[in-house]
Structure 1
Amino acid sequence: MKHSVRYPVLSGLAGILLLLSGCSVSQTIPSEGQSVVALPSQLLETSGLLCLEQDFISFNDSGGKPVLYRFDRNGDIKHQLQLSFRNSDWEAISSDGEFLYLADTGNNAGYKQALFIYKVPLNWSGLKQPYRPERMEILLPEDKKRQPYQHDLDFEALVYQQDSLWLISKSWDSQIPKRYKLDPKLKQQQLGKAIPFANPGFLITDAVFDQSKQEWWLVGYPDPRKAIWAYLSNAGFQPQIARYDKDLLLLETKALPTTGQVEGLCIDQDKQIWLSEEGNKQSPALLIKTGFSSQ
Protein backbone atom coordinates (compact mmCIF):
# COMPACT_ATOMS: atom_id res chain seq x y z
CA MET A 1 0.00 0.00 0.00
CA LYS A 2 1.23 3.53 -0.74
CA HIS A 3 1.01 5.50 2.48
CA SER A 4 0.84 8.82 0.68
CA VAL A 5 -2.36 7.58 -0.91
CA ARG A 6 -3.83 5.30 1.72
CA TYR A 7 -3.55 7.52 4.81
CA PRO A 8 -5.05 10.88 3.78
CA VAL A 9 -7.33 10.99 6.81
CA LEU A 10 -4.62 10.61 9.46
CA SER A 11 -3.35 13.69 11.21
CA GLY A 12 -0.73 14.67 13.75
CA LEU A 13 2.51 12.84 14.45
CA ALA A 14 1.21 9.40 13.47
CA GLY A 15 0.11 10.63 10.05
CA ILE A 16 3.41 12.38 9.41
CA LEU A 17 5.41 9.29 10.35
CA LEU A 18 3.30 7.09 8.10
CA LEU A 19 3.93 9.38 5.17
CA LEU A 20 7.65 9.41 5.86
CA SER A 21 7.81 5.64 6.27
CA GLY A 22 7.13 5.19 2.56
CA CYS A 23 10.51 6.80 1.88
CA SER A 24 12.57 4.53 4.12
CA VAL A 25 15.05 2.06 2.65
CA SER A 26 14.64 -1.59 3.60
CA GLN A 27 17.46 -2.99 5.73
CA THR A 28 16.81 -6.65 4.87
CA ILE A 29 20.04 -8.60 5.32
CA PRO A 30 19.92 -12.37 4.71
CA SER A 31 21.45 -14.82 7.18
CA GLU A 32 21.85 -18.58 7.03
CA GLY A 33 18.87 -20.29 5.38
CA GLN A 34 17.51 -16.99 4.09
CA SER A 35 17.64 -15.26 0.73
CA VAL A 36 16.56 -11.89 -0.58
CA VAL A 37 15.88 -11.13 -4.26
CA ALA A 38 14.92 -7.77 -5.74
CA LEU A 39 11.74 -7.99 -7.79
CA PRO A 40 11.43 -6.16 -11.13
CA SER A 41 9.95 -2.68 -11.30
CA GLN A 42 6.66 -4.08 -12.65
CA LEU A 43 6.04 -5.47 -9.14
CA LEU A 44 7.08 -2.45 -7.07
CA GLU A 45 3.86 -2.60 -5.03
CA THR A 46 3.55 -6.36 -4.72
CA SER A 47 0.47 -7.02 -2.63
CA GLY A 48 0.08 -10.79 -2.35
CA LEU A 49 2.05 -13.97 -3.00
CA LEU A 50 1.32 -17.52 -4.13
CA CYS A 51 3.90 -20.32 -4.18
CA LEU A 52 3.52 -22.44 -7.32
CA GLU A 53 6.01 -25.29 -7.79
CA GLN A 54 9.36 -23.47 -8.14
CA ASP A 55 7.69 -20.20 -9.13
CA PHE A 56 5.51 -17.49 -7.59
CA ILE A 57 2.51 -15.42 -8.64
CA SER A 58 2.00 -11.84 -7.49
CA PHE A 59 0.44 -8.52 -8.55
CA ASN A 60 0.31 -4.87 -7.54
CA ASP A 61 -2.22 -3.24 -5.26
CA SER A 62 -4.64 -0.35 -5.86
CA GLY A 63 -4.09 1.62 -9.02
CA GLY A 64 -1.70 -0.92 -10.48
CA LYS A 65 -2.13 -2.60 -13.83
CA PRO A 66 -4.69 -5.44 -13.78
CA VAL A 67 -1.97 -8.01 -14.41
CA LEU A 68 -0.90 -11.23 -12.70
CA TYR A 69 2.83 -11.97 -12.86
CA ARG A 70 4.44 -15.40 -12.64
CA PHE A 71 8.16 -15.25 -11.81
CA ASP A 72 10.95 -17.53 -10.64
CA ARG A 73 13.17 -17.49 -7.56
CA ASN A 74 15.54 -15.07 -9.23
CA GLY A 75 12.69 -12.59 -9.65
CA ASP A 76 12.61 -13.04 -13.43
CA ILE A 77 9.10 -12.72 -14.86
CA LYS A 78 8.14 -15.78 -16.94
CA HIS A 79 4.49 -15.12 -17.76
CA GLN A 80 1.91 -12.34 -17.47
CA LEU A 81 -1.86 -12.47 -17.58
CA GLN A 82 -3.87 -9.28 -18.04
CA LEU A 83 -7.41 -9.30 -16.68
CA SER A 84 -10.35 -7.32 -18.02
CA PHE A 85 -11.39 -5.95 -14.60
CA ARG A 86 -9.89 -2.81 -13.08
CA ASN A 87 -7.47 -3.19 -10.20
CA SER A 88 -9.47 -1.34 -7.57
CA ASP A 89 -7.47 -2.73 -4.65
CA TRP A 90 -6.10 -6.22 -5.26
CA GLU A 91 -4.79 -7.61 -1.98
CA ALA A 92 -4.53 -11.41 -1.84
CA ILE A 93 -4.40 -14.61 -3.87
CA SER A 94 -5.04 -18.30 -3.19
CA SER A 95 -5.60 -21.48 -5.21
CA ASP A 96 -7.51 -24.75 -5.12
CA GLY A 97 -5.01 -26.44 -7.43
CA GLU A 98 -7.07 -25.75 -10.55
CA PHE A 99 -8.06 -22.11 -10.20
CA LEU A 100 -6.62 -18.96 -8.71
CA TYR A 101 -8.78 -16.78 -6.48
CA LEU A 102 -7.77 -13.13 -6.62
CA ALA A 103 -9.17 -10.86 -3.91
CA ASP A 104 -10.09 -7.29 -4.85
CA THR A 105 -10.96 -6.68 -1.22
CA GLY A 106 -8.93 -3.69 0.01
CA ASN A 107 -11.24 -1.28 1.82
CA ASN A 108 -9.14 0.97 4.05
CA ALA A 109 -11.39 3.97 3.49
CA GLY A 110 -14.47 1.92 4.37
CA TYR A 111 -16.77 3.28 1.67
CA LYS A 112 -17.24 0.05 -0.31
CA GLN A 113 -20.54 -1.79 -0.15
CA ALA A 114 -19.25 -4.85 -1.99
CA LEU A 115 -15.94 -6.62 -2.58
CA PHE A 116 -14.95 -8.91 -5.43
CA ILE A 117 -13.03 -12.14 -5.90
CA TYR A 118 -11.93 -13.22 -9.38
CA LYS A 119 -11.63 -16.87 -10.40
CA VAL A 120 -8.80 -17.44 -12.89
CA PRO A 121 -7.55 -20.73 -14.40
CA LEU A 122 -4.18 -21.77 -12.99
CA ASN A 123 -3.10 -22.75 -16.50
CA TRP A 124 -2.80 -19.58 -18.57
CA SER A 125 -1.92 -21.35 -21.80
CA GLY A 126 -4.31 -20.37 -24.59
CA LEU A 127 -6.20 -17.75 -22.58
CA LYS A 128 -7.17 -14.70 -24.61
CA GLN A 129 -5.97 -11.45 -23.07
CA PRO A 130 -7.29 -9.40 -21.47
CA TYR A 131 -8.91 -12.41 -19.82
CA ARG A 132 -12.38 -11.98 -18.34
CA PRO A 133 -12.58 -14.16 -15.21
CA GLU A 134 -15.61 -15.30 -13.27
CA ARG A 135 -16.43 -12.76 -10.57
CA MET A 136 -17.77 -13.34 -7.08
CA GLU A 137 -19.47 -10.42 -5.32
CA ILE A 138 -19.27 -10.20 -1.52
CA LEU A 139 -21.91 -7.88 -0.05
CA LEU A 140 -20.87 -5.97 3.08
CA PRO A 141 -23.28 -4.96 5.85
CA GLU A 142 -24.50 -1.40 5.45
CA ASP A 143 -22.95 1.15 7.78
CA LYS A 144 -23.03 4.81 6.80
CA LYS A 145 -20.99 5.74 9.89
CA ARG A 146 -17.98 3.62 8.91
CA GLN A 147 -14.86 5.77 9.06
CA PRO A 148 -11.54 5.32 7.21
CA TYR A 149 -9.04 3.19 9.17
CA GLN A 150 -11.56 2.83 12.00
CA HIS A 151 -13.37 -0.34 10.99
CA ASP A 152 -12.72 -4.07 10.50
CA LEU A 153 -14.04 -4.60 6.97
CA ASP A 154 -10.73 -4.20 5.15
CA PHE A 155 -9.27 -7.49 3.91
CA GLU A 156 -5.73 -8.26 2.77
CA ALA A 157 -5.76 -12.06 3.19
CA LEU A 158 -7.62 -14.81 1.35
CA VAL A 159 -7.18 -18.56 1.88
CA TYR A 160 -8.69 -21.54 0.05
CA GLN A 161 -9.19 -24.41 2.49
CA GLN A 162 -11.40 -27.50 2.36
CA ASP A 163 -13.69 -26.38 -0.49
CA SER A 164 -14.20 -22.94 1.07
CA LEU A 165 -12.66 -19.51 0.77
CA TRP A 166 -11.77 -17.58 3.90
CA LEU A 167 -11.43 -13.80 3.94
CA ILE A 168 -9.33 -12.55 6.87
CA SER A 169 -9.71 -9.00 8.11
CA LYS A 170 -6.89 -6.57 8.74
CA SER A 171 -8.97 -5.22 11.64
CA TRP A 172 -7.96 -1.57 12.02
CA ASP A 173 -10.58 -0.99 14.71
CA SER A 174 -10.64 -4.04 16.98
CA GLN A 175 -7.05 -5.14 16.22
CA ILE A 176 -8.38 -8.72 16.32
CA PRO A 177 -8.28 -10.57 12.96
CA LYS A 178 -11.45 -12.35 11.92
CA ARG A 179 -12.13 -14.89 9.21
CA TYR A 180 -15.27 -15.12 7.10
CA LYS A 181 -16.31 -18.27 5.26
CA LEU A 182 -17.29 -17.92 1.59
CA ASP A 183 -18.69 -20.41 -0.91
CA PRO A 184 -16.57 -20.28 -4.10
CA LYS A 185 -19.51 -21.63 -6.11
CA LEU A 186 -21.77 -18.64 -5.42
CA LYS A 187 -21.50 -15.56 -7.61
CA GLN A 188 -23.05 -13.33 -4.96
CA GLN A 189 -23.21 -13.74 -1.18
CA GLN A 190 -23.30 -11.87 2.09
CA LEU A 191 -20.12 -11.56 4.12
CA GLY A 192 -21.60 -13.65 6.89
CA LYS A 193 -20.43 -14.50 10.41
CA ALA A 194 -17.07 -13.38 11.79
CA ILE A 195 -14.88 -16.03 13.46
CA PRO A 196 -12.09 -14.36 15.47
CA PHE A 197 -8.50 -15.49 15.74
CA ALA A 198 -6.61 -14.99 18.97
CA ASN A 199 -5.01 -11.54 18.79
CA PRO A 200 -1.46 -11.81 17.36
CA GLY A 201 -0.63 -8.20 18.20
CA PHE A 202 -0.37 -6.93 14.63
CA LEU A 203 -2.46 -6.02 11.58
CA ILE A 204 -2.90 -8.82 9.03
CA THR A 205 -1.59 -8.39 5.49
CA ASP A 206 -1.65 -12.02 4.30
CA ALA A 207 -2.31 -15.59 5.41
CA VAL A 208 -1.87 -19.19 4.33
CA PHE A 209 -3.15 -22.58 5.54
CA ASP A 210 -0.71 -25.49 5.79
CA GLN A 211 -2.85 -28.46 4.82
CA SER A 212 -0.34 -31.11 5.95
CA LYS A 213 -0.13 -29.80 9.52
CA GLN A 214 -3.59 -28.21 9.64
CA GLU A 215 -2.14 -24.89 10.73
CA TRP A 216 -2.77 -21.24 9.87
CA TRP A 217 0.01 -18.72 9.33
CA LEU A 218 -0.75 -14.99 9.45
CA VAL A 219 1.68 -12.19 8.63
CA GLY A 220 1.60 -8.43 9.11
CA TYR A 221 2.98 -5.54 11.15
CA PRO A 222 2.00 -3.48 14.22
CA ASP A 223 -0.49 -0.68 13.69
CA PRO A 224 1.68 2.25 12.46
CA ARG A 225 -0.56 4.66 14.36
CA LYS A 226 0.52 3.03 17.62
CA ALA A 227 4.09 1.92 16.88
CA ILE A 228 5.38 5.50 16.90
CA TRP A 229 8.80 4.63 18.35
CA ALA A 230 9.54 2.25 15.48
CA TYR A 231 9.28 5.14 13.04
CA LEU A 232 11.10 7.65 15.20
CA SER A 233 14.01 5.22 15.55
CA ASN A 234 13.92 4.18 11.86
CA ALA A 235 13.16 0.62 12.93
CA GLY A 236 10.66 0.25 10.09
CA PHE A 237 7.49 -1.84 10.07
CA GLN A 238 8.79 -4.62 12.39
CA PRO A 239 6.77 -7.31 10.57
CA GLN A 240 5.80 -10.49 12.39
CA ILE A 241 4.35 -13.91 11.64
CA ALA A 242 1.93 -15.93 13.77
CA ARG A 243 1.11 -19.65 13.73
CA TYR A 244 -2.29 -21.04 14.79
CA ASP A 245 -3.73 -24.53 15.06
CA LYS A 246 -6.85 -25.55 13.14
CA ASP A 247 -9.05 -24.29 15.99
CA LEU A 248 -7.43 -20.82 15.75
CA LEU A 249 -5.43 -21.23 18.97
CA LEU A 250 -2.31 -19.05 18.78
CA LEU A 251 0.78 -21.27 18.98
CA GLU A 252 3.61 -18.78 18.46
CA THR A 253 4.62 -15.45 16.97
CA LYS A 254 7.99 -14.59 15.46
CA ALA A 255 9.72 -11.45 14.30
CA LEU A 256 10.55 -11.58 10.60
CA PRO A 257 14.04 -11.01 9.12
CA THR A 258 13.20 -7.62 7.59
CA THR A 259 12.00 -4.17 8.59
CA GLY A 260 10.05 -3.59 5.37
CA GLN A 261 6.37 -3.56 4.48
CA VAL A 262 5.55 -7.25 4.16
CA GLU A 263 2.43 -7.83 2.06
CA GLY A 264 2.62 -11.42 0.78
CA LEU A 265 3.07 -14.87 2.37
CA CYS A 266 3.22 -18.40 0.96
CA ILE A 267 4.61 -21.86 1.75
CA ASP A 268 6.39 -23.76 -1.03
CA GLN A 269 6.39 -27.48 -1.80
CA ASP A 270 9.38 -27.97 0.52
CA LYS A 271 7.51 -26.29 3.40
CA GLN A 272 9.71 -23.19 3.26
CA ILE A 273 8.04 -19.87 4.12
CA TRP A 274 8.39 -16.98 1.65
CA LEU A 275 7.41 -13.32 1.82
CA SER A 276 6.97 -10.47 -0.62
CA GLU A 277 7.76 -6.96 0.52
CA GLU A 278 6.46 -3.79 -1.10
CA GLY A 279 9.07 -1.40 -2.49
CA ASN A 280 9.21 2.38 -2.78
CA LYS A 281 11.03 5.08 -4.72
CA GLN A 282 14.30 4.34 -2.95
CA SER A 283 14.28 0.52 -2.96
CA PRO A 284 12.72 -2.30 -5.00
CA ALA A 285 10.12 -4.78 -3.88
CA LEU A 286 11.66 -7.94 -2.43
CA LEU A 287 11.11 -11.69 -2.50
CA ILE A 288 12.32 -13.11 0.82
CA LYS A 289 12.98 -16.70 1.81
CA THR A 290 12.62 -16.41 5.57
CA GLY A 291 14.56 -19.48 6.66
CA PHE A 292 11.45 -20.55 8.58
CA SER A 293 9.76 -23.86 7.83
CA SER A 294 6.25 -25.14 8.49
CA GLN A 295 7.55 -28.65 9.16
Structure 2
Amino acid sequence: MTGCSVSADTQRGVEVLSSYSLDNALKETSGLFCIDGGAFSINDSGNKPELFTINELGKITGKAELDITNQDWETITGNEDYLYIGDIGNNAGKRKNLKIYRIDRKDSSKTEKLRFTYTGNKPADNVPYAHDYDGEAMTMRDGKLQIFSKSWATETAHVYNVQDIKAKQALSPIANVEGLPGVVTGVDWSEEKQEYALVGYRSNALGMFKPFIATISNEYQVTGVHMLPQFAQVEGVCHAPNGNIWLTQESSPYTSAKIAVLKIH
Protein backbone atom coordinates (compact mmCIF):
# COMPACT_ATOMS: atom_id res chain seq x y z
CA MET A 1 0.00 0.00 0.00
CA THR A 2 1.29 3.44 -0.87
CA GLY A 3 0.68 6.35 1.51
CA CYS A 4 1.83 9.87 0.63
CA SER A 5 1.53 13.33 2.16
CA VAL A 6 3.35 16.41 0.91
CA SER A 7 2.92 20.15 1.18
CA ALA A 8 0.67 21.67 -1.44
CA ASP A 9 2.24 24.01 -3.99
CA THR A 10 0.40 27.24 -3.19
CA GLN A 11 2.12 29.11 -6.05
CA ARG A 12 -0.06 27.48 -8.70
CA GLY A 13 -3.24 29.44 -9.33
CA VAL A 14 -6.73 28.51 -10.54
CA GLU A 15 -8.42 30.61 -13.20
CA VAL A 16 -12.20 30.32 -13.58
CA LEU A 17 -12.76 30.67 -17.32
CA SER A 18 -16.54 30.42 -17.19
CA SER A 19 -19.37 29.58 -14.81
CA TYR A 20 -23.03 28.96 -15.66
CA SER A 21 -26.13 27.76 -13.86
CA LEU A 22 -27.32 24.27 -14.71
CA ASP A 23 -30.84 23.42 -15.80
CA ASN A 24 -33.13 22.58 -12.88
CA ALA A 25 -33.27 18.99 -14.16
CA LEU A 26 -29.65 18.67 -12.96
CA LYS A 27 -29.98 20.51 -9.66
CA GLU A 28 -28.56 17.49 -7.81
CA THR A 29 -25.73 16.80 -10.23
CA SER A 30 -23.35 14.31 -8.66
CA GLY A 31 -20.89 13.24 -11.35
CA LEU A 32 -19.19 14.45 -14.52
CA PHE A 33 -17.36 12.74 -17.39
CA CYS A 34 -15.93 14.87 -20.22
CA ILE A 35 -16.23 13.91 -23.87
CA ASP A 36 -15.58 15.76 -27.13
CA GLY A 37 -17.88 18.76 -27.19
CA GLY A 38 -19.45 18.25 -23.78
CA ALA A 39 -19.85 15.95 -20.82
CA PHE A 40 -22.10 13.32 -19.27
CA SER A 41 -23.71 14.04 -15.90
CA ILE A 42 -26.11 12.35 -13.50
CA ASN A 43 -28.22 13.17 -10.43
CA ASP A 44 -27.90 11.42 -7.10
CA SER A 45 -30.42 9.61 -4.87
CA GLY A 46 -34.13 10.37 -5.07
CA ASN A 47 -33.98 11.11 -8.80
CA LYS A 48 -34.83 9.16 -11.93
CA PRO A 49 -32.11 6.93 -13.46
CA GLU A 50 -31.36 9.48 -16.16
CA LEU A 51 -28.16 10.11 -18.10
CA PHE A 52 -27.63 13.67 -19.35
CA THR A 53 -25.25 15.23 -21.85
CA ILE A 54 -24.43 18.90 -21.34
CA ASN A 55 -22.24 21.56 -22.87
CA GLU A 56 -19.93 24.01 -21.11
CA LEU A 57 -22.73 26.59 -20.97
CA GLY A 58 -24.74 24.26 -18.74
CA LYS A 59 -27.31 23.47 -21.43
CA ILE A 60 -28.71 19.94 -21.60
CA THR A 61 -28.04 18.56 -25.08
CA GLY A 62 -29.36 15.03 -24.53
CA LYS A 63 -31.12 12.80 -22.02
CA ALA A 64 -31.76 9.05 -21.72
CA GLU A 65 -33.64 7.17 -19.01
CA LEU A 66 -31.81 3.95 -18.16
CA ASP A 67 -33.43 0.68 -17.13
CA ILE A 68 -31.48 0.47 -13.87
CA THR A 69 -32.01 1.68 -10.30
CA ASN A 70 -30.75 4.96 -8.88
CA GLN A 71 -30.33 4.22 -5.19
CA ASP A 72 -27.53 6.73 -4.73
CA TRP A 73 -25.67 7.52 -7.94
CA GLU A 74 -22.61 9.58 -7.12
CA THR A 75 -20.10 9.32 -9.94
CA ILE A 76 -19.68 8.59 -13.64
CA THR A 77 -16.65 7.80 -15.80
CA GLY A 78 -15.96 5.80 -18.92
CA ASN A 79 -13.91 4.94 -21.98
CA GLU A 80 -14.61 4.64 -25.71
CA ASP A 81 -16.86 1.60 -25.25
CA TYR A 82 -18.59 1.94 -21.89
CA LEU A 83 -19.87 4.35 -19.29
CA TYR A 84 -19.63 3.41 -15.62
CA ILE A 85 -22.08 4.81 -13.08
CA GLY A 86 -21.16 4.37 -9.41
CA ASP A 87 -24.19 3.65 -7.23
CA ILE A 88 -21.85 3.91 -4.27
CA GLY A 89 -23.13 6.72 -2.06
CA ASN A 90 -22.97 5.60 1.57
CA ASN A 91 -23.05 8.61 3.90
CA ALA A 92 -24.74 6.62 6.66
CA GLY A 93 -22.34 3.70 6.23
CA LYS A 94 -25.09 1.07 6.36
CA ARG A 95 -25.26 -0.03 2.73
CA LYS A 96 -24.43 -3.63 1.85
CA ASN A 97 -25.32 -3.42 -1.85
CA LEU A 98 -22.73 -1.12 -3.38
CA LYS A 99 -22.55 -1.47 -7.14
CA ILE A 100 -21.26 -0.06 -10.40
CA TYR A 101 -23.29 -0.17 -13.61
CA ARG A 102 -21.52 -0.64 -16.93
CA ILE A 103 -23.46 0.82 -19.85
CA ASP A 104 -22.73 0.17 -23.51
CA ARG A 105 -22.17 3.57 -25.15
CA LYS A 106 -23.58 2.35 -28.47
CA ASP A 107 -26.71 0.84 -26.90
CA SER A 108 -27.65 2.17 -23.45
CA SER A 109 -30.17 -0.65 -23.00
CA LYS A 110 -27.21 -3.04 -22.57
CA THR A 111 -26.07 -2.82 -18.95
CA GLU A 112 -24.11 -4.99 -16.55
CA LYS A 113 -23.76 -4.77 -12.78
CA LEU A 114 -20.56 -5.06 -10.74
CA ARG A 115 -21.08 -5.58 -7.00
CA PHE A 116 -18.42 -5.00 -4.36
CA THR A 117 -17.68 -4.66 -0.66
CA TYR A 118 -14.86 -2.96 1.22
CA THR A 119 -12.50 -5.31 3.05
CA GLY A 120 -12.85 -4.76 6.80
CA ASN A 121 -16.11 -2.83 6.54
CA LYS A 122 -18.79 -3.69 9.11
CA PRO A 123 -21.85 -1.63 8.15
CA ALA A 124 -23.64 -2.24 11.46
CA ASP A 125 -20.73 -0.60 13.32
CA ASN A 126 -20.47 2.51 11.16
CA VAL A 127 -21.60 5.86 12.54
CA PRO A 128 -23.27 8.11 9.91
CA TYR A 129 -20.91 10.78 8.54
CA ALA A 130 -18.11 9.42 10.75
CA HIS A 131 -16.60 6.48 8.84
CA ASP A 132 -14.34 5.87 5.83
CA TYR A 133 -16.54 3.52 3.75
CA ASP A 134 -18.34 6.13 1.67
CA GLY A 135 -17.56 6.91 -1.96
CA GLU A 136 -18.47 9.59 -4.49
CA ALA A 137 -15.43 9.65 -6.77
CA MET A 138 -14.50 7.21 -9.53
CA THR A 139 -12.26 7.42 -12.58
CA MET A 140 -10.49 5.18 -15.07
CA ARG A 141 -6.72 4.93 -15.24
CA ASP A 142 -4.75 2.60 -17.53
CA GLY A 143 -7.90 0.63 -18.27
CA LYS A 144 -8.80 0.13 -14.59
CA LEU A 145 -11.63 1.65 -12.61
CA GLN A 146 -10.55 3.42 -9.44
CA ILE A 147 -12.62 4.63 -6.48
CA PHE A 148 -11.40 7.37 -4.13
CA SER A 149 -13.16 7.16 -0.77
CA LYS A 150 -15.13 9.95 0.89
CA SER A 151 -13.46 9.44 4.24
CA TRP A 152 -15.51 11.27 6.86
CA ALA A 153 -13.56 9.89 9.83
CA THR A 154 -9.96 10.45 8.75
CA GLU A 155 -10.11 12.70 5.65
CA THR A 156 -7.48 10.33 4.22
CA ALA A 157 -8.74 9.26 0.81
CA HIS A 158 -8.33 5.53 0.20
CA VAL A 159 -7.81 4.46 -3.40
CA TYR A 160 -9.32 1.18 -4.64
CA ASN A 161 -8.87 -0.64 -7.94
CA VAL A 162 -11.98 -2.35 -9.31
CA GLN A 163 -11.65 -5.45 -11.48
CA ASP A 164 -14.06 -4.81 -14.31
CA ILE A 165 -14.45 -8.46 -15.27
CA LYS A 166 -15.56 -9.68 -11.85
CA ALA A 167 -19.27 -9.48 -11.04
CA LYS A 168 -18.63 -9.44 -7.28
CA GLN A 169 -15.46 -8.53 -5.42
CA ALA A 170 -13.97 -7.27 -2.15
CA LEU A 171 -11.84 -4.13 -2.42
CA SER A 172 -8.72 -3.29 -0.42
CA PRO A 173 -6.87 0.05 -0.67
CA ILE A 174 -3.92 0.21 -3.06
CA ALA A 175 -2.94 3.73 -1.90
CA ASN A 176 -3.85 6.56 0.46
CA VAL A 177 -3.95 10.31 -0.23
CA GLU A 178 -3.26 12.41 2.85
CA GLY A 179 -3.16 16.15 3.43
CA LEU A 180 -6.45 17.11 1.75
CA PRO A 181 -8.55 19.86 3.39
CA GLY A 182 -11.80 17.85 3.38
CA VAL A 183 -13.65 14.90 1.92
CA VAL A 184 -13.43 13.82 -1.73
CA THR A 185 -16.50 14.07 -3.99
CA GLY A 186 -15.04 13.79 -7.49
CA VAL A 187 -11.90 12.67 -9.31
CA ASP A 188 -10.61 12.30 -12.87
CA TRP A 189 -7.35 10.94 -14.24
CA SER A 190 -5.59 12.69 -17.14
CA GLU A 191 -3.48 10.38 -19.28
CA GLU A 192 -1.90 13.38 -20.99
CA LYS A 193 -0.95 15.18 -17.76
CA GLN A 194 -0.29 11.98 -15.79
CA GLU A 195 -2.15 13.40 -12.81
CA TYR A 196 -5.52 13.38 -11.09
CA ALA A 197 -7.84 16.34 -10.63
CA LEU A 198 -9.80 15.92 -7.42
CA VAL A 199 -12.57 18.01 -5.85
CA GLY A 200 -14.17 17.98 -2.43
CA TYR A 201 -15.12 20.13 0.51
CA ARG A 202 -15.28 20.61 4.23
CA SER A 203 -18.79 21.28 5.56
CA ASN A 204 -20.38 22.27 8.85
CA ALA A 205 -23.71 21.72 10.61
CA LEU A 206 -25.16 24.86 9.01
CA GLY A 207 -24.69 23.47 5.52
CA MET A 208 -21.85 25.82 4.66
CA PHE A 209 -19.17 24.42 2.37
CA LYS A 210 -15.48 25.17 1.88
CA PRO A 211 -14.77 23.53 -1.51
CA PHE A 212 -11.38 22.84 -3.02
CA ILE A 213 -9.70 21.39 -6.08
CA ALA A 214 -6.46 19.43 -5.84
CA THR A 215 -3.97 17.88 -8.21
CA ILE A 216 -2.56 14.45 -7.34
CA SER A 217 0.47 12.83 -8.95
CA ASN A 218 0.54 9.37 -10.48
CA GLU A 219 2.12 8.23 -7.20
CA TYR A 220 -0.81 9.64 -5.18
CA GLN A 221 1.08 12.65 -3.86
CA VAL A 222 -0.72 15.97 -3.41
CA THR A 223 0.94 18.44 -5.79
CA GLY A 224 -1.47 21.36 -5.41
CA VAL A 225 -4.51 22.37 -3.36
CA HIS A 226 -6.64 25.40 -4.17
CA MET A 227 -9.70 26.63 -2.32
CA LEU A 228 -12.73 27.60 -4.40
CA PRO A 229 -14.50 30.33 -2.40
CA GLN A 230 -16.79 31.21 -5.32
CA PHE A 231 -18.37 27.73 -5.24
CA ALA A 232 -20.15 25.53 -2.70
CA GLN A 233 -21.04 21.80 -2.81
CA VAL A 234 -18.78 20.72 -5.67
CA GLU A 235 -19.55 17.18 -6.83
CA GLY A 236 -18.07 16.32 -10.23
CA VAL A 237 -14.83 17.01 -12.07
CA CYS A 238 -13.33 15.98 -15.41
CA HIS A 239 -10.51 16.83 -17.80
CA ALA A 240 -11.79 18.24 -21.08
CA PRO A 241 -10.00 17.23 -24.31
CA ASN A 242 -8.53 20.77 -24.63
CA GLY A 243 -6.79 20.52 -21.23
CA ASN A 244 -9.24 22.59 -19.22
CA ILE A 245 -10.98 21.20 -16.14
CA TRP A 246 -14.75 21.13 -15.76
CA LEU A 247 -16.55 20.88 -12.44
CA THR A 248 -20.17 20.81 -11.31
CA GLN A 249 -21.82 22.06 -8.16
CA GLU A 250 -25.03 20.72 -6.64
CA SER A 251 -27.72 23.24 -5.68
CA SER A 252 -28.15 24.20 -2.03
CA PRO A 253 -30.30 26.66 -0.06
CA TYR A 254 -27.61 29.26 -0.72
CA THR A 255 -26.82 28.78 -4.42
CA SER A 256 -27.91 27.12 -7.65
CA ALA A 257 -26.40 24.14 -9.43
CA LYS A 258 -23.51 25.23 -11.64
CA ILE A 259 -20.99 24.11 -14.17
CA ALA A 260 -17.60 25.81 -14.40
CA VAL A 261 -14.55 25.60 -16.63
CA LEU A 262 -11.19 26.07 -14.90
CA LYS A 263 -7.54 26.28 -15.82
CA ILE A 264 -4.82 25.46 -13.29
CA HIS A 265 -1.60 27.41 -13.86
Q: % of aligned pairs identical? A: 31
Distance (Å, rounded) in 2 between the aligned partners of 1:243 and 1:56:
20
Aligned partner of 2:221: which letter?
L
| Deviation sequence 1:61-96 (CA, Å, 0-9, x none) | 111110010122222222212122221110011112
Aligned partner of 1:67: which letter?
E
Distance (Å, rounded) in 1 between the aligned partners of 2:179 and 2:104:
35
Change (3 A) 1:281 1:244: closer
Change (3 A) 1:32 1:164: closer
Aligned partner of 1:195: which letter?
A
Please state if 1:51 is matched with 2:18. no
- Contact 2:74/2:136 (8 A) holds in 1: yes
Change (3 A) 1:264 1:32: closer
- Equivalence for 1:176: 156
- Equivalence for 1:7: none
Aligned partner of 2:263: which letter?
G
The Cα RMSD (Å) is: 2.0
Please state if 1:254 is matched with 2:226. yes
Please state if 1:139 is matched with 2:117. yes
Aligned pair count reads 250
Aligned partner of 2:167: which letter?
K
Distance (Å, rounded) in 2 between the aligned partners of 1:44 and 1:275:
14
Higher RCO (Cα < 8 Å, 6 or more apart): 2
What SS does structure 1 have at the residue aligned with 2:160? strand
Change (3 A) 1:199 1:281: closer
- Equivalence for 1:166: 146
- Equivalence for 1:270: 242
TM-score (norm. length: structure 2): 0.88
TM-fit CA distance, 1:259 = 2.9
| Deviation sequence 1:88-145 (CA, Å, 0-9, x none) | 1100111122111110000001111231101112235xx5xxx351110012345121
What SS does structure 2 have at the residue aligned with 1:135? strand
- Contact 1:55/1:73 (8 A) holds in 2: yes
Distance (Å, rounded) in 2 between the aligned partners of 1:204 and 1:39:
22
Structure 2: unaligned runs, 5 residues or longer: 1-13
- Equivalence for 2:4: none
TM-score (norm. length: structure 1): 0.79
Match runs of 1:171-250 below 5 Å: 171-224=151-204, 236-250=208-222
The structure that is strand-richer by fraction is 2
Structure 1: unaligned runs, 5 residues or longer: 1-30
Change (3 A) 1:32 1:148: closer
Higher-Rg structure is 1
TM-fit CA distance, 1:292 = 2.8
- Equivalence for 2:96: 113
Change (3 A) 1:178 1:142: closer
The structure that is helix-richer by fraction is 1
- Contact 2:158/2:173 (8 A) holds in 1: no
| Deviation sequence 1:29-54 (CA, Å, 0-9, x none) | xx975211111111010001111111
Distance (Å, rounded) in 2 between the aligned partners of 1:89 and 1:266:
20
